Chain A
Amino acid sequence: MIDPPLAVLAELTHRCPLQCPYCSNPVELERSKTELSTAEWIRVMREIADVGALQVHLSGGEPMARPDLDQIVAAARDAGLYSNLITSAVLLTEERMERLAGAGLDHVQISFQDSEPARADRIAGYRGALAKKKRAAEAVRMCGLPLTVNLVVHRQNLTTLEDLLTMAVDLLPQRIEVAHVQYYGWAIRNRAALMPTPEQVRSALETVERARERLRGRVTIDHVVPDYYGRRPKACMGGWGRRFLNITPSGKVLPCHAAESLPGMVFETVRERTIGEIWRDSPAFDAFRGTSWMPEPCRSCERREIDWGGCRCQALAITGDAAAADPVCDKSPDHVTLTSFTNQALAEGAPDLVYRRYGARAG
Protein backbone atom coordinates (compact mmCIF):
# COMPACT_ATOMS: atom_id res chain seq x y z
CA MET A 1 0.00 0.00 0.00
CA ILE A 2 1.47 3.33 -1.05
CA ASP A 3 0.34 6.30 1.04
CA PRO A 4 -1.25 9.16 -0.87
CA PRO A 5 0.71 12.40 -1.27
CA LEU A 6 -0.16 15.38 0.90
CA ALA A 7 0.78 18.28 -1.31
CA VAL A 8 1.43 19.08 -4.94
CA LEU A 9 3.53 21.82 -6.45
CA ALA A 10 1.97 22.84 -9.75
CA GLU A 11 4.38 24.86 -11.85
CA LEU A 12 1.88 26.48 -14.16
CA THR A 13 4.45 28.12 -16.40
CA HIS A 14 8.16 28.81 -16.55
CA ARG A 15 7.50 32.30 -17.89
CA CYS A 16 8.42 35.02 -15.42
CA PRO A 17 9.04 38.75 -15.74
CA LEU A 18 11.81 38.46 -13.15
CA GLN A 19 15.27 36.98 -13.61
CA CYS A 20 16.37 35.90 -10.16
CA PRO A 21 19.83 34.36 -10.32
CA TYR A 22 18.84 31.78 -7.69
CA CYS A 23 15.71 30.62 -9.45
CA SER A 24 15.13 26.92 -8.78
CA ASN A 25 13.67 26.32 -12.23
CA PRO A 26 15.75 24.09 -14.47
CA VAL A 27 18.26 25.85 -16.68
CA GLU A 28 16.34 24.39 -19.64
CA LEU A 29 13.12 26.37 -19.19
CA GLU A 30 9.97 24.94 -20.78
CA ARG A 31 8.48 27.14 -23.52
CA SER A 32 4.96 28.47 -23.37
CA LYS A 33 3.74 26.49 -26.38
CA THR A 34 4.37 23.23 -24.49
CA GLU A 35 2.34 24.34 -21.44
CA LEU A 36 -0.78 22.45 -20.40
CA SER A 37 -4.01 24.08 -21.53
CA THR A 38 -6.67 25.49 -19.23
CA ALA A 39 -8.80 22.37 -19.64
CA GLU A 40 -5.82 20.17 -18.83
CA TRP A 41 -4.97 22.07 -15.63
CA ILE A 42 -8.60 21.88 -14.57
CA ARG A 43 -8.55 18.13 -15.03
CA VAL A 44 -5.20 17.96 -13.20
CA MET A 45 -6.72 19.72 -10.15
CA ARG A 46 -9.34 16.98 -9.97
CA GLU A 47 -6.71 14.28 -10.32
CA ILE A 48 -4.64 15.88 -7.56
CA ALA A 49 -7.62 15.58 -5.23
CA ASP A 50 -8.34 12.05 -6.48
CA VAL A 51 -4.88 10.79 -5.61
CA GLY A 52 -5.51 12.06 -2.06
CA ALA A 53 -3.47 15.27 -1.90
CA LEU A 54 -4.92 18.07 0.19
CA GLN A 55 -2.91 21.11 -0.77
CA VAL A 56 -1.87 22.58 -4.07
CA HIS A 57 0.83 25.19 -4.39
CA LEU A 58 0.41 27.17 -7.59
CA SER A 59 3.84 28.24 -8.65
CA GLY A 60 6.07 28.78 -11.66
CA GLY A 61 7.91 30.67 -13.03
CA GLU A 62 5.30 33.27 -12.35
CA PRO A 63 1.83 31.69 -12.11
CA MET A 64 0.24 35.10 -12.68
CA ALA A 65 1.62 34.97 -16.21
CA ARG A 66 -1.25 32.55 -16.91
CA PRO A 67 -4.35 34.61 -17.75
CA ASP A 68 -6.50 31.59 -16.83
CA LEU A 69 -5.20 31.44 -13.25
CA ASP A 70 -8.60 32.16 -11.70
CA GLN A 71 -10.12 29.24 -13.58
CA ILE A 72 -7.39 26.95 -12.27
CA VAL A 73 -7.92 28.26 -8.73
CA ALA A 74 -11.66 27.68 -9.04
CA ALA A 75 -11.01 24.11 -10.17
CA ALA A 76 -8.77 23.56 -7.12
CA ARG A 77 -11.49 24.92 -4.87
CA ASP A 78 -14.14 22.74 -6.51
CA ALA A 79 -11.92 19.72 -5.92
CA GLY A 80 -11.69 20.62 -2.21
CA LEU A 81 -7.98 21.48 -2.33
CA TYR A 82 -6.33 24.11 -0.17
CA SER A 83 -4.74 26.46 -2.69
CA ASN A 84 -1.65 28.55 -2.15
CA LEU A 85 -0.40 31.03 -4.73
CA ILE A 86 3.39 31.36 -4.76
CA THR A 87 4.15 34.55 -6.62
CA SER A 88 6.72 37.25 -7.21
CA ALA A 89 3.65 39.53 -7.25
CA VAL A 90 4.81 42.08 -9.83
CA LEU A 91 1.76 41.13 -11.90
CA LEU A 92 -0.61 40.97 -8.93
CA THR A 93 -2.86 44.00 -9.31
CA GLU A 94 -5.83 44.78 -7.02
CA GLU A 95 -8.21 43.74 -9.74
CA ARG A 96 -6.61 40.35 -10.33
CA MET A 97 -6.32 39.76 -6.61
CA GLU A 98 -10.04 40.26 -6.19
CA ARG A 99 -10.76 37.79 -8.95
CA LEU A 100 -8.50 35.20 -7.39
CA ALA A 101 -10.06 35.65 -3.97
CA GLY A 102 -13.48 35.31 -5.58
CA ALA A 103 -12.37 32.08 -7.23
CA GLY A 104 -11.61 30.64 -3.80
CA LEU A 105 -7.87 31.09 -3.31
CA ASP A 106 -6.86 30.23 0.26
CA HIS A 107 -3.46 31.83 0.73
CA VAL A 108 -0.82 33.96 -0.99
CA GLN A 109 2.93 33.84 -0.62
CA ILE A 110 4.98 36.72 -1.99
CA SER A 111 8.75 36.49 -2.30
CA PHE A 112 10.97 39.51 -1.67
CA GLN A 113 14.52 39.93 -2.89
CA ASP A 114 15.58 42.77 -0.60
CA SER A 115 14.23 45.63 1.51
CA GLU A 116 16.16 48.30 -0.36
CA PRO A 117 14.63 49.13 -3.79
CA ALA A 118 17.82 49.36 -5.84
CA ARG A 119 19.24 46.14 -4.46
CA ALA A 120 15.91 44.35 -4.74
CA ASP A 121 15.52 45.38 -8.37
CA ARG A 122 19.10 44.39 -9.13
CA ILE A 123 18.58 40.85 -7.89
CA ALA A 124 15.21 40.52 -9.61
CA GLY A 125 16.58 42.03 -12.82
CA TYR A 126 13.39 44.15 -12.94
CA ARG A 127 12.88 47.89 -12.38
CA GLY A 128 10.35 48.86 -9.74
CA ALA A 129 9.83 45.28 -8.54
CA LEU A 130 9.88 46.09 -4.82
CA ALA A 131 7.26 48.85 -5.04
CA LYS A 132 4.92 46.56 -6.99
CA LYS A 133 5.33 43.74 -4.50
CA LYS A 134 4.44 46.01 -1.60
CA ARG A 135 1.29 47.15 -3.36
CA ALA A 136 0.39 43.55 -4.07
CA ALA A 137 0.83 42.61 -0.41
CA GLU A 138 -1.61 45.37 0.46
CA ALA A 139 -4.06 44.03 -2.14
CA VAL A 140 -3.87 40.57 -0.57
CA ARG A 141 -4.71 42.04 2.81
CA MET A 142 -7.59 44.09 1.43
CA CYS A 143 -9.12 40.90 0.06
CA GLY A 144 -8.91 39.33 3.50
CA LEU A 145 -6.54 36.58 2.47
CA PRO A 146 -3.68 35.39 4.66
CA LEU A 147 -0.23 36.37 3.48
CA THR A 148 3.19 34.79 3.81
CA VAL A 149 6.18 37.00 3.12
CA ASN A 150 9.02 34.90 1.80
CA LEU A 151 12.45 36.45 2.27
CA VAL A 152 15.04 34.87 0.04
CA VAL A 153 18.42 35.19 1.74
CA HIS A 154 21.99 34.64 0.62
CA ARG A 155 25.42 36.12 1.13
CA GLN A 156 24.57 39.43 -0.52
CA ASN A 157 21.65 40.32 1.73
CA LEU A 158 22.05 38.33 4.95
CA THR A 159 23.81 41.16 6.74
CA THR A 160 20.60 43.19 6.36
CA LEU A 161 18.29 40.45 7.66
CA GLU A 162 17.11 42.77 10.46
CA ASP A 163 15.90 45.29 7.81
CA LEU A 164 14.31 42.55 5.74
CA LEU A 165 12.33 41.38 8.75
CA THR A 166 11.22 44.92 9.58
CA MET A 167 10.00 45.39 6.03
CA ALA A 168 8.19 42.06 6.17
CA VAL A 169 6.46 42.85 9.47
CA ASP A 170 5.24 46.19 8.07
CA LEU A 171 3.37 44.28 5.38
CA LEU A 172 1.27 42.65 8.15
CA PRO A 173 1.62 39.03 7.08
CA GLN A 174 0.43 36.04 9.12
CA ARG A 175 3.68 34.31 8.44
CA ILE A 176 7.24 35.17 7.43
CA GLU A 177 9.51 32.62 5.88
CA VAL A 178 13.25 33.13 5.85
CA ALA A 179 14.40 30.94 3.00
CA HIS A 180 18.04 30.35 2.27
CA VAL A 181 18.80 29.90 -1.40
CA GLN A 182 19.03 26.26 -2.29
CA TYR A 183 21.65 25.28 -4.75
CA TYR A 184 20.06 23.70 -7.74
CA GLY A 185 18.70 25.01 -11.03
CA TRP A 186 20.03 28.48 -11.74
CA ALA A 187 21.39 28.88 -8.24
CA ILE A 188 24.20 26.37 -8.87
CA ARG A 189 25.59 28.76 -11.46
CA ASN A 190 25.65 31.49 -8.86
CA ARG A 191 26.85 29.50 -5.90
CA ALA A 192 30.08 31.47 -5.52
CA ALA A 193 28.19 34.76 -5.47
CA LEU A 194 25.41 33.66 -3.13
CA MET A 195 26.74 31.08 -0.66
CA PRO A 196 26.56 32.57 2.84
CA THR A 197 29.44 32.32 5.27
CA PRO A 198 29.06 30.12 8.38
CA GLU A 199 29.05 33.31 10.50
CA GLN A 200 26.17 34.71 8.46
CA VAL A 201 24.16 31.54 8.96
CA ARG A 202 24.83 31.59 12.68
CA SER A 203 23.91 35.22 13.07
CA ALA A 204 20.74 34.67 11.00
CA LEU A 205 19.66 32.08 13.56
CA GLU A 206 20.10 34.62 16.36
CA THR A 207 18.35 37.41 14.45
CA VAL A 208 15.37 35.18 13.74
CA GLU A 209 15.24 34.04 17.36
CA ARG A 210 15.15 37.66 18.57
CA ALA A 211 12.44 38.56 16.06
CA ARG A 212 10.38 35.54 17.15
CA GLU A 213 10.52 36.74 20.75
CA ARG A 214 9.47 40.23 19.72
CA LEU A 215 6.65 39.10 17.49
CA ARG A 216 5.30 36.17 19.47
CA GLY A 217 1.58 35.77 18.93
CA ARG A 218 1.54 38.31 16.08
CA VAL A 219 3.33 36.59 13.25
CA THR A 220 4.95 33.18 12.83
CA ILE A 221 8.48 33.08 11.49
CA ASP A 222 9.73 29.96 9.78
CA HIS A 223 13.41 29.64 9.17
CA VAL A 224 14.77 26.69 7.31
CA VAL A 225 18.43 26.49 8.11
CA PRO A 226 20.56 25.56 5.11
CA ASP A 227 21.99 22.10 5.34
CA TYR A 228 25.34 22.66 3.63
CA TYR A 229 26.91 23.44 6.99
CA GLY A 230 25.17 20.55 8.70
CA ARG A 231 26.21 16.98 9.46
CA ARG A 232 22.91 15.22 8.82
CA PRO A 233 20.79 15.80 5.74
CA LYS A 234 17.13 16.72 5.72
CA ALA A 235 14.55 14.39 4.31
CA CYS A 236 14.13 15.74 0.81
CA MET A 237 10.41 16.40 0.22
CA GLY A 238 9.65 14.16 3.19
CA GLY A 239 11.16 11.22 1.33
CA TRP A 240 11.00 10.42 -2.37
CA GLY A 241 7.46 9.57 -3.47
CA ARG A 242 6.07 9.75 0.06
CA ARG A 243 4.45 13.15 0.57
CA PHE A 244 4.85 15.27 -2.45
CA LEU A 245 4.81 15.53 -6.19
CA ASN A 246 5.59 18.24 -8.67
CA ILE A 247 3.99 18.96 -12.01
CA THR A 248 5.95 20.92 -14.60
CA PRO A 249 4.36 23.41 -17.02
CA SER A 250 4.18 20.77 -19.74
CA GLY A 251 2.65 18.22 -17.37
CA LYS A 252 5.62 16.04 -16.38
CA VAL A 253 5.05 14.49 -12.97
CA LEU A 254 8.18 14.62 -10.81
CA PRO A 255 8.94 13.38 -7.29
CA CYS A 256 10.84 16.62 -6.60
CA HIS A 257 11.12 19.77 -8.64
CA ALA A 258 14.83 19.23 -9.30
CA ALA A 259 14.40 15.57 -10.29
CA GLU A 260 14.94 16.30 -13.96
CA SER A 261 18.62 16.80 -13.19
CA LEU A 262 18.90 13.04 -12.58
CA PRO A 263 20.12 11.25 -15.70
CA GLY A 264 18.36 8.28 -17.21
CA MET A 265 15.03 8.95 -15.51
CA VAL A 266 11.88 8.96 -17.54
CA PHE A 267 9.06 11.12 -16.23
CA GLU A 268 5.55 10.43 -17.37
CA THR A 269 3.14 13.25 -18.07
CA VAL A 270 -0.47 13.92 -17.17
CA ARG A 271 -1.19 13.59 -20.89
CA GLU A 272 -0.24 9.90 -20.78
CA ARG A 273 -1.62 8.57 -17.49
CA THR A 274 -3.52 9.83 -14.46
CA ILE A 275 -1.59 11.28 -11.55
CA GLY A 276 -2.84 8.41 -9.38
CA GLU A 277 -1.36 5.82 -11.73
CA ILE A 278 1.93 7.66 -11.96
CA TRP A 279 2.14 8.12 -8.19
CA ARG A 280 1.41 4.50 -7.36
CA ASP A 281 3.29 2.79 -10.11
CA SER A 282 5.95 4.39 -12.29
CA PRO A 283 9.68 3.84 -12.63
CA ALA A 284 10.53 7.39 -11.55
CA PHE A 285 8.53 7.25 -8.32
CA ASP A 286 9.63 3.70 -7.55
CA ALA A 287 13.33 4.49 -8.12
CA PHE A 288 14.07 5.89 -4.66
CA ARG A 289 10.89 5.18 -2.74
CA GLY A 290 11.34 3.50 0.62
CA THR A 291 14.72 2.08 1.63
CA SER A 292 15.38 -0.96 -0.55
CA TRP A 293 17.35 1.05 -3.13
CA MET A 294 19.81 2.29 -0.54
CA PRO A 295 23.47 1.35 -0.55
CA GLU A 296 25.66 1.75 2.51
CA PRO A 297 26.05 3.82 4.66
CA CYS A 298 22.30 4.48 4.53
CA ARG A 299 21.16 0.85 4.25
CA SER A 300 22.14 -0.01 7.81
CA CYS A 301 21.75 3.45 9.30
CA GLU A 302 19.20 4.05 12.06
CA ARG A 303 18.17 7.32 10.40
CA ARG A 304 17.20 5.74 7.08
CA GLU A 305 13.49 6.22 7.69
CA ILE A 306 14.01 9.69 9.16
CA ASP A 307 15.88 11.44 6.38
CA TRP A 308 15.44 8.76 3.70
CA GLY A 309 19.07 9.25 2.70
CA GLY A 310 18.64 12.97 2.01
CA CYS A 311 18.49 14.67 -1.35
CA ARG A 312 19.06 12.59 -4.51
CA CYS A 313 19.87 15.64 -6.59
CA GLN A 314 22.49 16.81 -4.13
CA ALA A 315 23.95 13.29 -4.06
CA LEU A 316 24.21 13.31 -7.83
CA ALA A 317 25.59 16.83 -8.08
CA ILE A 318 28.40 16.19 -5.62
CA THR A 319 29.16 12.46 -5.86
CA GLY A 320 28.08 11.70 -9.42
CA ASP A 321 25.81 8.93 -8.12
CA ALA A 322 22.14 9.67 -7.52
CA ALA A 323 21.80 6.66 -5.17
CA ALA A 324 24.65 7.68 -2.87
CA ALA A 325 24.07 9.06 0.61
CA ASP A 326 23.48 12.79 0.57
CA PRO A 327 26.98 14.24 0.99
CA VAL A 328 25.67 16.62 3.64
CA CYS A 329 25.84 13.52 5.84
CA ASP A 330 29.23 13.14 7.49
CA LYS A 331 28.94 9.36 7.10
CA SER A 332 29.18 9.92 3.36
CA PRO A 333 32.68 9.45 1.92
CA ASP A 334 31.95 12.55 -0.17
CA HIS A 335 31.18 14.81 2.77
CA VAL A 336 34.67 16.31 2.44
CA THR A 337 34.01 17.10 -1.22
CA LEU A 338 30.92 19.06 -0.26
CA THR A 339 32.83 20.94 2.39
CA SER A 340 35.54 21.81 -0.08
CA PHE A 341 32.95 23.00 -2.64
CA THR A 342 31.44 25.21 0.00
CA ASN A 343 34.81 26.61 0.98
CA GLN A 344 35.74 27.12 -2.62
CA ALA A 345 32.51 29.02 -3.28
CA LEU A 346 33.32 31.25 -0.34
CA ALA A 347 36.93 31.76 -1.42
CA GLU A 348 35.93 32.75 -4.94
CA GLY A 349 34.22 35.81 -3.55
CA ALA A 350 31.38 37.44 -5.41
CA PRO A 351 31.60 37.13 -9.18
CA ASP A 352 28.91 38.60 -11.42
CA LEU A 353 25.47 37.08 -11.24
CA VAL A 354 24.14 34.94 -14.05
CA TYR A 355 20.51 35.94 -14.56
CA ARG A 356 17.76 33.50 -15.34
CA ARG A 357 16.77 33.82 -19.00
CA TYR A 358 15.46 31.66 -21.76
CA GLY A 359 18.32 30.28 -23.78
CA ALA A 360 20.99 31.87 -21.58
CA ARG A 361 24.22 29.97 -21.54
CA ALA A 362 25.05 29.72 -17.91
CA GLY A 363 28.47 28.72 -16.54
Chain B
Amino acid sequence: MPRLARGVRTRFDPTRQKWIVLAPERLFVPDEIAFEIIRRCDGTATVGAIADDLAAAFHEQRHVVLKDVTALLSDLAEKGVVVT
Protein backbone atom coordinates (compact mmCIF):
# COMPACT_ATOMS: atom_id res chain seq x y z
CA MET B 1 0.00 0.00 0.00
CA PRO B 2 1.92 2.98 -1.28
CA ARG B 3 2.27 6.14 0.74
CA LEU B 4 4.36 9.28 0.51
CA ALA B 5 7.84 8.85 1.97
CA ARG B 6 8.80 10.63 5.14
CA GLY B 7 9.50 14.27 4.43
CA VAL B 8 7.44 14.37 1.24
CA ARG B 9 4.38 16.53 1.09
CA THR B 10 2.06 18.02 -1.46
CA ARG B 11 0.60 21.48 -1.51
CA PHE B 12 -1.36 23.71 -3.78
CA ASP B 13 0.78 26.58 -4.97
CA PRO B 14 -1.22 29.76 -5.41
CA THR B 15 1.53 31.43 -7.50
CA ARG B 16 1.56 28.73 -10.16
CA GLN B 17 -2.03 27.57 -9.62
CA LYS B 18 -0.78 23.98 -9.50
CA TRP B 19 -0.28 21.11 -7.11
CA ILE B 20 3.36 20.60 -6.17
CA VAL B 21 5.14 17.64 -4.66
CA LEU B 22 7.84 18.72 -2.22
CA ALA B 23 10.60 16.39 -1.12
CA PRO B 24 14.12 16.87 0.16
CA GLU B 25 16.14 18.28 -2.75
CA ARG B 26 13.33 17.46 -5.12
CA LEU B 27 10.34 19.38 -6.11
CA PHE B 28 8.15 18.66 -9.03
CA VAL B 29 4.92 19.61 -10.63
CA PRO B 30 3.06 16.40 -11.44
CA ASP B 31 0.72 16.38 -14.40
CA GLU B 32 -2.94 15.90 -13.63
CA ILE B 33 -2.93 12.12 -13.85
CA ALA B 34 0.25 11.78 -11.83
CA PHE B 35 -1.19 13.99 -9.15
CA GLU B 36 -4.40 11.96 -9.04
CA ILE B 37 -2.26 8.88 -8.41
CA ILE B 38 -0.02 10.53 -5.82
CA ARG B 39 -3.02 11.92 -4.01
CA ARG B 40 -4.33 8.40 -3.51
CA CYS B 41 -1.10 7.10 -1.95
CA ASP B 42 -2.35 7.36 1.61
CA GLY B 43 -0.95 4.09 2.96
CA THR B 44 -4.38 2.46 3.10
CA ALA B 45 -5.21 1.86 -0.57
CA THR B 46 -3.52 -0.95 -2.50
CA VAL B 47 -2.16 -0.34 -6.00
CA GLY B 48 -5.13 -2.31 -7.31
CA ALA B 49 -7.60 -0.18 -5.37
CA ILE B 50 -5.98 3.00 -6.69
CA ALA B 51 -6.33 1.69 -10.23
CA ASP B 52 -10.00 0.76 -9.63
CA ASP B 53 -10.74 4.17 -8.27
CA LEU B 54 -9.03 6.00 -11.12
CA ALA B 55 -10.58 3.81 -13.79
CA ALA B 56 -14.00 4.65 -12.39
CA ALA B 57 -13.27 8.35 -11.97
CA PHE B 58 -11.87 8.82 -15.49
CA HIS B 59 -13.91 6.20 -17.33
CA GLU B 60 -10.84 4.36 -18.47
CA GLN B 61 -10.13 0.69 -18.86
CA ARG B 62 -8.71 -0.72 -15.68
CA HIS B 63 -5.80 -2.65 -17.21
CA VAL B 64 -4.60 0.51 -18.99
CA VAL B 65 -4.82 2.53 -15.79
CA LEU B 66 -3.12 -0.18 -13.77
CA LYS B 67 -0.16 -0.13 -16.13
CA ASP B 68 0.22 3.64 -15.77
CA VAL B 69 -0.16 3.51 -12.01
CA THR B 70 2.41 0.74 -11.64
CA ALA B 71 4.90 2.51 -13.89
CA LEU B 72 4.54 5.85 -12.12
CA LEU B 73 4.74 4.33 -8.66
CA SER B 74 7.85 2.35 -9.42
CA ASP B 75 9.46 5.49 -10.79
CA LEU B 76 8.46 7.46 -7.70
CA ALA B 77 9.65 4.68 -5.40
CA GLU B 78 12.99 4.72 -7.17
CA LYS B 79 13.22 8.45 -6.51
CA GLY B 80 12.31 7.97 -2.86
CA VAL B 81 9.09 9.96 -3.16
CA VAL B 82 6.76 7.04 -2.48
CA VAL B 83 7.28 3.96 -0.32
CA THR B 84 5.38 0.77 -0.98
B22 and A54 form a contact (CB under 8 A): yes
Q: Interface residues of A: mostly helix, strand, loop or mixed?
A: loop
A148 and B25 form a contact (CB under 8 A): yes
A107 and B11 form a contact (CB under 8 A): no
Give the contact stretch, choosing among B12-20, B33-41, B49-57. Answer: B12-20
Number of A-B contacts (CB under 8 A): 54
Top-8 shortest CB links A-B: A146-B7, A220-B80, A52-B15, A82-B22, A146-B6, A107-B24, A107-B7, A4-B15
A174 and B11 form a contact (CB under 8 A): no
How far apart are the CA atoms of A52 and B11 in the complex, in Å?
13
Chain B nearest CB from A239 CB (Å) reads 16
Number of B residues whose C-beta is below 8 Å from A?
Answer: 19
Q: Can you show 15 pairs from A to B with CB atoms below 8 A apart?
A: A52-B15, A54-B20, A54-B27, A80-B11, A106-B24, A107-B7, A107-B24, A146-B5, A146-B7, A146-B24, A148-B25, A174-B5, A175-B24, A216-B78, A219-B80
Chain B nearest CB from A122 CB (Å) reads 28
Residues of chain A within 8 A of B63, CB atoms compared: none
How far apart are the CA atoms of A254 and B79 in the complex, in Å?
30
A148 and B24 form a contact (CB under 8 A): yes
If A177-B25, A217-B77, A222-B25 are given as contacts, then 14 extra A-B residue pairs at C-beta distance below 8 Å, sorted by A number, are: A7-B27, A52-B15, A54-B13, A55-B22, A80-B11, A82-B9, A82-B27, A84-B24, A145-B6, A148-B24, A174-B6, A174-B24, A174-B80, A220-B80
Chain A, residues 174-188, CB within 8 Å of chain B (1/0): the string is 110100000000000
| Choice from A6, A146, A175 contacting B27 with Cβ under 8 Å | A6
Residues of chain A within 8 A of B25, CB atoms compared: 84, 148, 175, 177, 222
Chain A nearest CB from B82 CB (Å) reads 11
Q: Judge whether A19 is part of the interface by a CB distance below 8 angstroms.
A: no
Instruction: Bin chain A's interface residue count.
Output: 20 to 34
How far apart are the CA atoms of A220 and B80 in the complex, in Å?
6
How far apart are the CA atoms of A217 and B76 in the complex, in Å?
10
A145 and B22 form a contact (CB under 8 A): no
How far apart are the CA atoms of A338 and B70 in the complex, in Å?
45
A175 and B6 form a contact (CB under 8 A): no
How far apart are the CA atoms of A6 and B79 in the complex, in Å?
19
How far apart are the CA atoms of A220 and B83 in the complex, in Å?
11
How far apart are the CA atoms of A290 and B79 in the complex, in Å?
30
How far apart are the CA atoms of A144 and B9 in the complex, in Å?
14
How far apart are the CA atoms of A234 and B6 in the complex, in Å?
30
Residues of chain A within 8 A of B11, CB atoms compared: 54, 80
Chain B nearest CB from A175 CB (Å) reads 6
Q: Judge whether A111 is part of the interface by a CB distance below 8 angstroms.
A: no
